[in-house]
Structure 1
Amino acid sequence: MGKRRRVEERSGRRRPAAVGGMIAVVVGGAGLGVYALYGGAAADDGSAAAANGRQVPRVRADVPSAAEAKALAARFLTAWQKGDAARAAAVTDDSAAAAALLTGYAKDAHITDVTLTPGTAAGVRVPFSVKATVKYKNVGKPLAYDSALTVVRNPKNGKAQVDWHASVVHPDLQDGDRLVTGEAGTPPVKAVDRDGGELTAAKYPSLGTVLDGLREKYGKKAGGKAGVELQVVRGKASKAKKASAKTLLELSKGTPGTVRTTLSPKLQAAAESQVAKTARSSVVVLRPSTGEILAVANASPGFNTAFNGSLAPGSTMKVVTSSLLIDKGLASADKTHPCPKTFTYGGWKFHNDDDFEIKGGSFKASFARSCNTAFISQAPELSDDSLTRQAQQVFGLSMNNWAIGVPSFDGSVPVQSKAQMAASLIGQGGVRMNPLNMASVAATVKAGSFHQPYLVAPSVDGRTLASASRTLSASTLAQLRELMNYTAAAGTAAEAMSGLGPDYGAKTGSAEVDNQDKPNGWFTAYRGDLAAAGVVQAGGHGGDTAGPIVASLLRTGG
Structure 2
Amino acid sequence: MPMARGVKTGIIGAVFAGMLGVAGYGAYNIYSNLDGSSSGTKPAAVAGRDEPLSAKDVADTAADFLTAWSSGDDAKAAELTDSVQTATAALAEYRDKAGISKVTATAEPTDSATGSTATAGPTGAVVSFTVKATISYQGLAPKVWTYGSTLTVGRNTVGDPAVKWAPSVLEPDLKDGLSLVTGLATSPELDLVDRHGKIMTAEQYPGLTDVFTDLRKRYQDAKLGGTPGIETYVTNDAGELVKTLYVVKPGTNAKLKTTLDARIQAAAESAVKKYGQSGVTALDTRDGTILAMAANPPGGTNYALALQPPGSTFKIVTATALMTAPVTKDTPRLTPDSVSQCVDGYAPIGGKPYHNVTPNKQDATLSWDFSRSCNTGFIRLSKYLEPDSLTKTGEKYFGLVGDSRPWYTGTGTTDGSIPGGTGDEMTSEMIGQGRILMNTLNMASVAATVRDGRFHQPSILQDKDLIENRQTWNATPLPGQVRQNLMAMMKLTATNGTAAGLMTGMQQPYGAKTGSAEENKNDLPTGWFTAYSGDVAAAAMVMQGDHGNKSAGPIVADVLRAAR
SS in structure 1 of the partner of residue 443 of structure 2: helix
Aligned equivalents of 2:457, 2:539: Cα separation in 1: 15
- The Cα of 1:451 is off from its aligned counterpart by 0.7
Q: Which residue of 1 aligns with 2:562?
A: 556
Whether contact under 8 Å (1:181, 1:228) holds in the other structure is no
Whether contact under 8 Å (2:206, 2:299) holds in the other structure is no
Q: Which residue of 1 aligns with 2:492?
A: 486
Whether contact under 8 Å (2:358, 2:374) holds in the other structure is no
* 253-262 or 412-421, larger mean C-alpha shift: 253-262
Q: 1:501 to 1:141 in 2, by over 3 A?
A: same
Aligned equivalents of 1:260, 1:511: Cα separation in 2: 36
SS in structure 2 of the partner of residue 497 of structure 1: coil
- The Cα of 1:133 is off from its aligned counterpart by 8.9
CA-to-aligned-CA distance 1:198-245 (integer Å, 9 cap, x gap): 1101111112111111112211113464866689xxxxxxxxxxxxxx
TM-score, normalising length: structure 2: 0.62
- The answer on 1:289 being equivalent to 2:257 is no
Query: Which amino acid is 1:202 matched to?
Result: E
- The Cα of 1:294 is off from its aligned counterpart by 1.0
CA-to-aligned-CA distance 1:286-337 (integer Å, 9 cap, x gap): 1101112111111111246355311111100000110110111563112322
SS in structure 1 of the partner of residue 352 of structure 2: strand
Q: Which residue of 2 aligns with 1:175?
A: none
CA-to-aligned-CA distance 1:93-132 (integer Å, 9 cap, x gap): xxxxxxxxxxxxxx9xx9xx9x9x9xxxxxxxxxxxx989
- The answer on 1:448 being equivalent to 2:453 is yes
Q: Which residue of 2 aligns with 1:198?
A: 199
Aligned equivalents of 2:562, 2:495: Cα separation in 1: 19
Q: CA RMSD in A?
A: 3.6
Q: 1:529 to 1:469 in 2, by over 3 A?
A: closer
SS in structure 2 of the partner of residue 483 of structure 1: helix
Alignment of 1:24-43 (within 5 A): none
Aligned equivalents of 1:522, 1:318: Cα separation in 2: 12
Whether contact under 8 Å (1:310, 1:433) holds in the other structure is yes
From the CA coordinates, give the structure whose radius of gyration is larger: 2
- The Cα of 1:409 is off from its aligned counterpart by 1.8
Whether contact under 8 Å (1:133, 1:141) holds in the other structure is yes
Which of 397, 406, 418 pairs up with 2:411? Answer: 406
Whether contact under 8 Å (2:195, 2:258) holds in the other structure is yes
Alignment of 1:31-430 (within 5 A): 142=147, 188-221=189-222, 222-223=224-225, 225=228, 250-252=245-247, 256-303=253-300, 305-328=302-325, 329=332, 331-345=334-348, 347-354=350-357, 356-399=359-402, 400-430=405-435
Alignment of 1:467-486 (within 5 A): 467-486=473-492
- The Cα of 1:379 is off from its aligned counterpart by 2.2
SS in structure 2 of the partner of residue 394 of structure 1: helix
Q: 1:413 to 1:182 in 2, by over 3 A?
A: farther
- The Cα of 1:531 is off from its aligned counterpart by 0.6
Q: 1:201 to 1:359 in 2, by over 3 A?
A: same
Q: Which residue of 2 aligns with 1:521?
A: 527
SS in structure 2 of the partner of residue 475 of structure 1: helix
Aligned equivalents of 2:382, 2:131: Cα separation in 1: 61
What is the total number of aligned residue pairs between the two structures? 388
Q: Which has the higher contact order (CA 8 A, sep 6+)?
A: 1
Q: 1:344 to 1:213 in 2, by over 3 A?
A: same
Specify every segment of 5 or more residues in structure 2 that has no aligned partner in the other structure, as ranges.
Answer: 1-89, 95-105, 112-126, 136-143, 150-176, 236-240, 326-331
Aligned equivalents of 1:364, 1:347: Cα separation in 2: 27
* 485-494 or 257-266, larger mean C-alpha shift: 257-266
SS in structure 1 of the partner of residue 269 of structure 2: helix
Whether contact under 8 Å (1:331, 1:337) holds in the other structure is no
- The Cα of 1:135 is off from its aligned counterpart by 12
Specify every segment of 5 or more residues in structure 1 that has no aligned partner in the other structure, as ranges.
Answer: 1-106, 118-129, 145-178, 232-245
Whether contact under 8 Å (1:395, 1:468) holds in the other structure is no
Whether contact under 8 Å (1:143, 1:249) holds in the other structure is no
SS in structure 1 of the partner of residue 397 of structure 2: helix
Aligned equivalents of 2:479, 2:196: Cα separation in 1: 37
TM-score, normalising length: structure 1: 0.62
CA-to-aligned-CA distance 1:146-192 (integer Å, 9 cap, x gap): xxxxxxxxxxxxxxxxxxxxxxxxxxxxxxxxx99978977641101
SS in structure 2 of the partner of residue 445 of structure 1: helix
CA-to-aligned-CA distance 1:336-355 (integer Å, 9 cap, x gap): 22322223248542323357
Q: Which residue of 2 aligns with 1:496?
A: 502
- The answer on 1:439 being equivalent to 2:444 is yes
Query: Which amino acid is 2:476 matched to?
Result: R
Aligned equivalents of 1:523, 1:193: Cα separation in 2: 26
* 264-273 or 326-335, larger mean C-alpha shift: 326-335
